[in-house]
Structure 1
Amino acid sequence: MFDGIDDIDWRRLGHAYGSAGDVPGQLRALRSPDEEERQAAFGALYANIFHQGSRYEASAYAVPFLLELLADPATPDRELVLYLVTALAVGYDERWLPEGVPVAEFRRAAAGGRELLAAKPPPWHGDDETQKEYVEYAYVESLDEADQQRLWAYVELAVYDAVRAGVPLFRDLLTDDDPGLRAGAAYALAWFPEDAAGSLPAVVAAAEAAAQVDEDEAATALVAAGLLGAAPDAGLLTDPRPVIRWAAAVGRARVLGVDADQATVDELLAWTAAGPGDRPAADGAEVPFLDGDLHGYAGLSLRLLGPRHTDRAFDALLDRLPAVTGEQTLPVTAEALRLAFPDGRLARGVPCAALAPRQRRLVEVLARSPEVWLIGDSTFGNFSLLVGDYGLPRSREAMLAYLEGTPT
């Protein structure tokens, strides 16, 4: 275990807080018999190499050792290790849904980034934090925007490819005794379309094996199969279990797109429009995609159906909006904004009375839905930024004033 870990000059590698000299100790601590030590190590490692979804130079170097931990049945908390490995590969999955990872585009964006990373100076390291110098950040800031994008794209791609080496392991985990590992493995495999030919038979078999045992696990595998290019059987759209119908519709929309059958379309629309207490419902369902937001994922999938269903899709999104709050507002609102403002940001100074009918309907719903502006009891900054990106007011009060034509 951990062969070669000390051959890496971790201090010359960077993570979120500077030198990665602390990473080997954190990796080793994931094997500790002491639960508190393991939890502390996992939290520190997560923050270092996956800080707020970002990946770093040290992240790719940590992945082979995480895969080694994952492969050993004696490793505690393997489900957490698998979660971290998958997160390192793709970041937050809403970035890629509903289409999946566009690997060819990913690789094109990283062209030239390897050389830029090689030219980066090593991070500062030392015991006296008052003397700390942010040499890495200074280097990145010295690059123009295009080179910065190439550099970070390459860093992300290097981590993605490091995790991709674990695809055979993920396939093996589909038959593990632990249902959490089985579902996590299906979720992980969904993001590696270059390996779909070898993964699909195993993922489809996993969905079939789980169908009568664990519906959440089966649903996860069905969605993974869809992201890898295999449409779930149409017969599953009449399954009595809501989460299975949802997964079948999402998977079929991903593969069939504009050619999706009416039953698939109707299932997605029903999930998108559903409010609290409405059917379909899958209370307690635990599916990892989009943090378990089944309704939001259905809403995202509507874009795959093409313009023929745009009006019904928009109606369903507006029906859903007043019923959501917090993180679940984002996918629904983003899709509604995309449909209402196909040309992007609204020109400055356009009054509400001059909006197109679909745009005005959306403004009315946003202005009259107080919960969408909140996360818990606080204003949801990410939501305000999202609507502001389209040139709309960034607070509910300002949105109401805009709707009523009142100067602010």
Structure 2
Amino acid sequence: MWERLHQVDWAKLGHAYGSAQGTPRALRQMISPDPTVQNAGWEFFWGTLNHQGDYYNSTVATIPFLIEALENPAIAGRVEILHIFASRWRDAPNYGGDPYVPTPPGGEDLPIPINEDAELWTCDPPYAVWDDSEADADSDAADGADSEDDEDSDETAQDAGDRRELSSGDADEDAHEHRPMNLCAWQTARGIEAGKPVYLQLLSDADRQVAQAAAWLLLHWRDTRIAAKSALVSWADDDALAPIDRATAILQFASFRAEGDAASFQRWLQPNQPPMLRLAAGLGWAKQLHPDPLPPDAMNDLLAIIDADPQVASQLPHVGILQQGWWGASGNVSVLRLRLAAHPDREFRWRIVQSLSQRYSPEFMCSDAETIPVLLARLADPFGRIVTSAMEALCERATAVGDLFPDAIDRIIACVEPRSFEDWGDRVSGLDNGATLAGQAVTLLKRIRTQLTPDQRSRIQHSLRRALEHFQDANVYISFGSMGIQAKSWLQSQLSEFHTTDPVRLHLCFECLAFSHMVKSGMRPAEALAELIARHETDPVALAEEARTILRKCTDQRNPAIGVGVWLMALGRDAEWALEHLDNMANGTLDQYARGRARDAAQFIRESLQVPVEPSPDPLGSPSQRIRAWCQSHPNLEDGIIQTELLEFLKDSSADVRTVALRWAANQPSIADFVAGHLDFFGELLQCGDSVEWGISDRFEFDSKTVFWRREIRSVRTVAIRVILELPEIPPELPVFAAMVDACRQPELQVWGAFQIPQFSIADWVWAAEATGDLDSAEIDLRILRQERVNEAWSERRYRFQDSHQLAKIIDAINGCVISHSE
């Protein structure tokens, strides 16, 4: 085994810290029977060859040897190797190296450098030659030679297993080959895929943990999924196995959807099955059904199980759909989390309360009216980190707290006061000292300040002073999400916030838009933007004057000035008045970053002024105006004359005329008949890349934010796709899926300098893919598209990373995967 380990020219490969010439040593450690040695090897593997999830050419080179190790039953760590393969396979597309894409990133599949002069290694097992006392050389037994045969130290080094001596002892450690990371990701995943015959054999391995890890890996490929799911079903049905082992198989089985899965879930949910098995089956079925609900009987069964014994929920293994624990549970079983928020196990209770935060579980589906009482009850928990997590989730629902539960405000105020909690025992005092709890409580109260009575504002100030006295230590911090702010300075800054009911100061809103992690108010960007929008819609003149004043004083107000630039980009052409001030800031004495942000804002506003404004309807005006007037005056498509006129418009040379006509047609009840009568023509429209651009000045929601200017790029192809997606069925003659892929190679919208590709629903993508009759080819086409988006996200076109994330969800839906790429 591993005879050719030293024929790889490791000195020409690299990892996170330079030359990879020491990699063979780490590989031998990873499969050592000695746990201490094995841990050292794995530490090197994760911390160096896969540092922070990255891929290197040395990562690529290790894969064939790890696959070979899997074939040897005597080797330790086989389960870990299989789990790593699954993780690395799933991560590769996120690095722009999707292994399904047939062409490697960059177009060239670079080979691993080989040193043909290196001697084969004949020792088996490979770890037997490792002497941990040697830092740079193995024992002489590596080549079957005795140390007394060595003539000098150089020969000893050449006989050693360490690659440093076996290839180029004089090589510069920094002279290794540099390979693009997206190519390394692609090659690593392709190397993992090459081991499928080995993984299939491991399904019948005597070590069931190895077999189950192999099944988990094989689920990821469509052509091996049936074999993997069959193996998992056999283990889930095996009454001789412990319930936790059977539940593990079910949670993995549920991660990839296949026809007939519902029957298996229903069988495992039967009353004669162990509670843990039934709970796993219910969660798995819910994950596959999401966002649709579980059948009522099944949901009632799950509620009864956790009511009878809540410990069953905490004992479920974190695998498959629960790799992230209950944070990964689907939104359609959110009600279970509310039941589990009072769980007797404090660690599990803490994680459940955390999962009620939208920051951790964006799919959470219970209403505020259902959730807030559960969170308020947790404010009486004896453990500080649980109370703090409950307050963070309440802070996200501040408006609902004030509107639905005004009597709870006094309980929120009480949380500002210093408070003692039971010791958790892990010495992470920052989670339990009450500082973050006070900070979150104050932030919530600020968001509902207009609802506070004078007495409540007075008590808040009193509580703030007491908290300030208590948290005098400069090393005590308040956490707002991922940022930490010194408690003493932040609490001091809040004393004046509750003197009146006046809204927050504008310079803090602007600062938050620029640097949310540096704002002492604890304000979130969405909150700051909402405040600015409210001011803009009620008194735009005053808001503009405040922004102008900040830009004039940008030397003294750097951060708010940068935020003003961000806000002005939301106004687009309507911010023309600010160009002079932005230019002064860009050419002023501020640092390079601040000048660059001002320059970007000014450039975006100037670009918005170059985009034409969409014309108004006029039957006697330009072609663009006439088509708009025609659409207004013709309510339906029933009349044959109107159909003839529509067809003429659709054949017009102007992309604007065609897109306006298509958008009108999409809303007509009889459009299906019209398309059926002109299939060839619509096929041509699906291949037409002509487009027109308009600047639109009105309120618009984008990525859960509001802007007042956007640039629309309306493509004939994209609008034609939307017409066809409105039909009851996709005509098989029309290449809709291919057109959707091509449409997403061009932006459809620009807001705040970011481009967005056309947005089609996941259901429409799946529908169009199924209409092709070849899901495998459709999936590969989408993967190619997504790889383009990932690799272009930082380019000058500035596509949103959300576009690649959305494409990943579509790919998973087509592939049958129900777990996200972060799970």
TM > 0.5 between the two?
yes
Secondary structure of 1:160 counterpart: helix
CA deviation map 1:339-394 (0-9, x unaligned):
5899xxxxxxxx98973569999x999997x99xx99443789xxxxxxxxxxxx9
Q: Does 1:355 align with 2:383?
A: no
CA deviation map 1:228-278 (0-9, x unaligned):
32423303123542321122123322434426422444466678xx69x95
CA distance in 1, matches of 2:87, 2:436: 32
Residue range with higher mean Cα deviation, 352-361 or 63-72: 352-361
CA distance in 2, matches of 1:42, 1:4: 21
CA distance in 1, matches of 2:242, 2:185: 33
Amino acid at match of 1:7: Q
CA contact (8 A) 1:215 1:243 kept: yes
Report how far residue 66 of structure 1 moved: 0.8
Change (3 A) 1:8 1:214: same
CA distance in 2, matches of 1:134, 1:360: 63
CA distance in 2, matches of 1:67, 1:225: 23
Q: Which among 230, 248, 259 is matched to residue 281 of structure 2?
A: 248
Counterpart position of 2:212: 183
Secondary structure of 2:248 counterpart: helix
Change (3 A) 1:339 1:206: closer
Counterpart position of 1:38: 38
Secondary structure of 2:312 counterpart: coil
CA distance in 2, matches of 1:285, 1:24: 38
CA distance in 2, matches of 1:222, 1:194: 20
Amino acid at match of 2:236: A
CA contact (8 A) 1:173 1:185 kept: yes
Counterpart position of 1:68: 68
CA contact (8 A) 1:59 1:159 kept: yes
Q: Does 1:212 align with 2:246?
A: no
Instruction: State the Cα RMSD in Å.
Output: 5.0
Q: Which among 177, 189, 194 is matched to residue 160 of structure 1?
A: 189
CA distance in 2, matches of 1:339, 1:213: 33
Counterpart position of 1:235: 267
CA deviation map 1:265-292 (0-9, x unaligned):
4466678xx69x9526156554534776
Q: Which among 368, 383, 402 is matched to residue 443 of structure 2?
A: 402
Secondary structure of 1:355 counterpart: helix
Counterpart position of 1:113: 105
Amino acid at match of 2:445: E
Change (3 A) 1:73 1:321: same
Amino acid at match of 1:201: S
CA contact (8 A) 2:64 2:191 kept: yes
Written as runs of structure 1 = structure 2, the 5 A alignment for 1:44-193 is: 44-90=44-90, 106=98, 113-115=105-107, 151-152=181-182, 154-193=183-222
Amino acid at match of 2:257: G
Amino acid at match of 2:330: S
CA contact (8 A) 2:254 2:320 kept: no
Q: Which among 227, 231, 234 is matched to residue 202 of structure 1?
A: 231
Counterpart position of 1:224: 252
CA contact (8 A) 1:167 1:189 kept: yes
Quick check: which has more Rg, 1 or 2? 2
Counterpart position of 1:25: 25
CA distance in 1, matches of 2:366, 2:108: 37
Amino acid at match of 1:186: A
Amino acid at match of 1:177: A
CA deviation map 1:132-151 (0-9, x unaligned):
69996xx98xxxxxxxxxx5
Change (3 A) 1:54 1:235: same
CA contact (8 A) 1:366 1:396 kept: no
Secondary structure of 1:227 counterpart: coil
CA distance in 2, matches of 1:401, 1:208: 53
Change (3 A) 1:52 1:194: farther
Gaps of 5+ in 1: 93-100, 119-124, 141-150, 306-312, 343-350, 382-393
Secondary structure of 2:224 counterpart: helix
CA contact (8 A) 1:314 1:336 kept: no
Q: Does 1:296 align with 2:327?
A: yes
Residue range with higher mean Cα deviation, 318-327 or 68-77: 318-327
CA contact (8 A) 1:49 1:59 kept: yes
CA distance in 1, matches of 2:227, 2:366: 40
CA distance in 1, matches of 2:336, 2:313: 18
Say how many residue pairs are matched.
341
Report how far residue 338 of structure 1 moved: 4.7
Q: Does 1:261 align with 2:305?
A: no
CA distance in 2, matches of 1:314, 1:293: 15
CA distance in 2, matches of 1:380, 1:56: 37
Report how far residue 187 of structure 1 moved: 2.8
Report how far residue 194 of structure 1 moved: 5.1
Change (3 A) 1:293 1:216: farther
CA distance in 2, matches of 1:353, 1:2: 58
Amino acid at match of 1:207: A
Amino acid at match of 1:246: L
CA contact (8 A) 1:242 1:280 kept: no
**Percent same amino acid at aligned positions?**
20
CA contact (8 A) 2:203 2:215 kept: yes
Report how far residue 301 of structure 1 moved: 1.9
Task: Name the structure where helix makes up a greater proportion of residues.
Answer: 1
Report how far residue 107 of structure 1 moved: 5.7
Report how far residue 317 of structure 1 moved: 4.1
Secondary structure of 1:228 counterpart: coil
CA distance in 1, matches of 2:109, 2:427: 42
Written as runs of structure 1 = structure 2, the 5 A alignment for 1:377-396 is: 377-378=427-428, 395-396=436-437
Change (3 A) 1:107 1:189: closer
TM (norm. structure 1) is 0.63
Gaps of 5+ in 2: 111-163, 368-394, 450-496, 498-520, 522-823
Counterpart position of 1:384: none
CA contact (8 A) 1:219 1:244 kept: yes
Change (3 A) 1:48 1:353: closer
Change (3 A) 1:105 1:85: closer
Change (3 A) 1:173 1:325: same
Secondary structure of 1:113 counterpart: coil
Report how far residue 68 of structure 1 moved: 0.9
Counterpart position of 1:14: 14
Secondary structure of 1:223 counterpart: helix
CA distance in 2, matches of 1:380, 1:292: 27
CA distance in 2, matches of 1:82, 1:353: 42
